[in-house]
Chains A and B, each alone.
Chain A
């Protein structure tokens, strides 16, 4: 079965600094990978997704992620963090069966942005 690991529970970044959130997945074939963001008291919003092709994926709000098959990773990056980026970030992998409609989520990383 697929699984996702987000090794960092909390990360604190200074405003204006770069950000990298780690995500490792377990799946034998080419995975469907996603990053979602959850602002306090809100539902989840899709930041970006990877299905195939170019391994560097651009998303909304200036985020990007890179798929590295050799490392089973799909890390999320942003070159300059804004205070409004403080939120919880979830990595997810599409589960086999149901045409990958089902998602398996990681436990999330909470991003804190310091002034």
Chain B
């Protein structure tokens, strides 16, 4: 089906482990984004990408790494997970300034 998908939908990990959250879109949108959603903070931008091989930091990039070798994929890696990274993570892609969101990944770091 066309759209934007995220995997896994739920993940529990331990402090210090590396975790990768996957994001895939079928529209070939140029822009893609990663947000985290926390109570009282709304959505905060972690990283974004304007095209394949072009990425840039958002508001809260520390502790995260992204890559974008193909237009349709935009994985987010937590290199050494911390409890403060427990959150709901949303991926989005953009066409003509309208962002389309994936269903989210709920990550718990113990």
Contacts and interface: CB of A to CB of B under 8 A. Distances in A.
Given A105-B42, A107-B40, A51 B101 contact: no
B90 A43 contact: yes
Contacts of B40: 107
B68 to A, nearest CB: 15
B97 A101 contact: yes
Given A42-B103, A99-B97, A90 B31 contact: no
Contact of B101 (A41, A44, A102, A104): A44
Contacts of B102: 43
Interface residues of A, number: 24
Nearest to A94: B97
A107 B103 contact: no
Contacts of A90: 42-43
B101 to A, nearest CB: 3
Interface in A74-115: 90, 94, 98-108
Interface of A: 32, 34, 36, 41-46, 49, 51, 90, 94, 98-108
11 contacts: A42-B104, A43-B92, A43-B102, A44-B92, A51-B97, A90-B42, A98-B48, A99-B97, A102-B33, A106-B42, A107-B42
The 6 A-B pairs with the shortest beta carbon distances in the complex, nearest first, are A43-B101, A107-B42, A105-B43, A44-B101, A105-B42, A101-B31
